Every structure is written in structure tokens, then in C-alpha cells.
Amino acid sequence: MEWKPDWNLRGRMVFTMFLLFALYLVFGAYMANAGMFPFLAAMGIFMVAQFFFSDKLALYSMGAREVSEDEYPELHAMIGRLSQQADLPKPTVAVTDSRVPNAFATGRSKKNATVCVTTGIMNTLDEDELEGVMAHELAHVKNRDVMVMTIASFLSTIAFMVVRWGWLFADDDNPSGFIAVIASLVVWIVSFFLIRALSRYREYAADRGAAVITGNPGALASALMKISGRMDKVPDQDLRDQSEMNAFFIVPIKKGVIANLFSTHPRTEKRIEKLQDLERELQYA
């Protein structure tokens, strides 16, 4: 099945990426003129190395491990089937022992992807709901979201590093160092909000992709409702341990008005609403 392109969503993503590109272009030119090119180059090498090892770092931070088909045959069969439907190579499958019901995908390319689930989500969802979540993660892989968001946040991270360490290069003999720190602070704040907006748009796109892969938008909507309901029952310690992985999760851990403003994900209610619209669209197709 195929859905009609959501041009409104695509337009917002393109516009946000254009603003980021323009911001970074000005920032990069200024930093080069301020004599901080060596610092940018060193940070660039570090970021490239991090990009190539991002999948291993994400799995390590979650305490996840790669699992074989003998250990989780049904999970492997489900991901293999969905990968075929999505026209993707089957990713590596990993599991982390956690009561937090969640899942994420990582990897810099379609051929180097990993889908990770928690034991909590497997104990919470039924087969159709888990299939919807796995399809959502595969849609992230198909859309190359890890690569896109890593590139989008590249200079933002450098700007943050300049804010944090740039004072070491600033003194009375080098006033441009102070100006560079202030400029970096502005760039980091603006890009912070733009990147989160882009991330929220890409979550909507992954939800839509999951609906295309499974043909069952209602299953993912049901899974989102069930996961959100279970979050309140998870011990605070477990939530704190995994909150740093919010950008990867299918449902973020933080809640509240301020958290929604800074969130990498749209509000669950809005995601469910859009999935229900897709389900009605499917029924009348």
C-alpha cells in the first residue's frame, strides 16, 4: 500500500533544515574568520569518529546486547518480515533488560542498523502493537533519521563546545574569543529549538512510514497509548537511568509543558490523532 505524500510535513522539514543550514553557514564562516578553525577541525574529527561508533555507544549506554534467533525467534521473525515489507536489509536485533516499555533504532546506514527493544515493551504490547512499534523503528532506518539528525546537530554540538571551552581562548589580547563564545551561545540556542522541531517532524514521518509498512495505523496508535500509560508505573530510578536516550525512544520519558517544548518527540496525543486520521483514510481508500 502507498500513502499520499504529506506535503505539509515535508515542507516543514525542508524549511527547518534550510534554517539550520543558513545558521550553520554563517556560524562556520564567522568561526573561521575568528581564527578558531583548528578548534573546529579537531571537533569535526571527534564528531566523525562518534558518528561511526554511534550505534555501539547507544547500545552500550542502554546496557543492550545483540540477541540471536535462537534466543528470540518470534522477535527476529517479526523484524525480518517487516524488513522485507519495507524493502530493507534485516537489521541487527538487540534487547535490553529494562522495565521501561520502549524501543529505538540506531546505525548510520540501512546496512549498519540495529533495532533494540526493552523487555518491558515486549511484556506490555500484544503482537500487532509490537509490530507497529518495530515498523516505526524500521521507518527511521529507511528515512536515514540517525544520519540526518547527527548531521543536523553537528555544528550545534561544536557551538556548545565553544560555549563551554571557548573562554580558554579568550583574553584581553584576543577579544574576538569573547565574541566567538557569545556567537556560539546564540547559535546553540537557536539550533537547539530547530533540531528538536526537525526531530518532531521526523517522528511524524516515521509513524506514517509504520502505517505504510504494516497497513495497520491503529496498532501503532494502540501501542503509543499503552506505552504512555505504563510510563507512570515505572519506578523513577529506571526512568532517570534512561532519560538521556529520549531522542532515540519511540515515546519520550519526560512529561509536562516545558518538557514538551524541549522534546524531541511530538505529544503522544497528536501522534495518535494523526494515526487515527490515517486509519480513516485507509478505510475509505
pLDDT digits (tens, 9 = 90+) for 34-53: 666 676 677 777 777 767 77
Report the range of poorest mean pLDDT among 19-33, 154-168, 261-275: 154-168
- Note whether 250 and 133 are within 8 A (CB): yes
What is the mean predicted confidence (pLDDT) over 242-249? 48
Q: pTM of the entire structure?
A: 0.80
Q: Report the C-alpha gap between 195 and 184 in whole angstroms.
A: 16
Q: How far is CA 23 from CA 36, 91, 170, 244, 250, in A?
A: 17, 35, 23, 26, 29
Matching residue, cell 501501542: 223
Q: Report the C-alpha gap between 57 and 173 in whole angstroms.
A: 40
Using a pLDDT cut of 90, give the percent of the chain over it.
Answer: 33
What is the mean predicted confidence (pLDDT) over 157-177? 68
Q: Report the C-alpha gap between 132 and 18 in whole angstroms.
A: 31
Q: Report the C-alpha gap between 130 and 142 in whole angstroms.
A: 18
Q: What is the pLDDT of residue 247?
A: 47
Whether 69 is catalytic is no
Q: Which three cell numbers stand for residue 144?
A: 536515514
Q: Which three cell numbers stand for residue 23?
A: 545558521
Q: List the beta bridge partners of residue 94.
A: 66, 116
> Is pLDDT of 244 > 50?
no
Matching residue, cell 542502554: 62
Catalytic entry in 69, 127, 129, 137: 137
More reliable by pLDDT, 102 or 284: 102
Q: List the beta bridge partners of residue 95.
A: 65, 117
What is the mean predicted confidence (pLDDT) over 154-175? 70
User: Which residues fall within 8 angstroms of residue 16, CB to CB, at 6 or more apart?
Assistant: 194, 197, 198, 201
* Dihedral sign of CA atoms 48, 50, 56, 59 in order: negative
> Is pLDDT of 229 > 70?
yes
Q: What is the pLDDT of residue 117?
A: 95
- Note whether 146 and 108 are within 8 A (CB): yes
- Note whether 159 and 27 are within 8 A (CB): yes
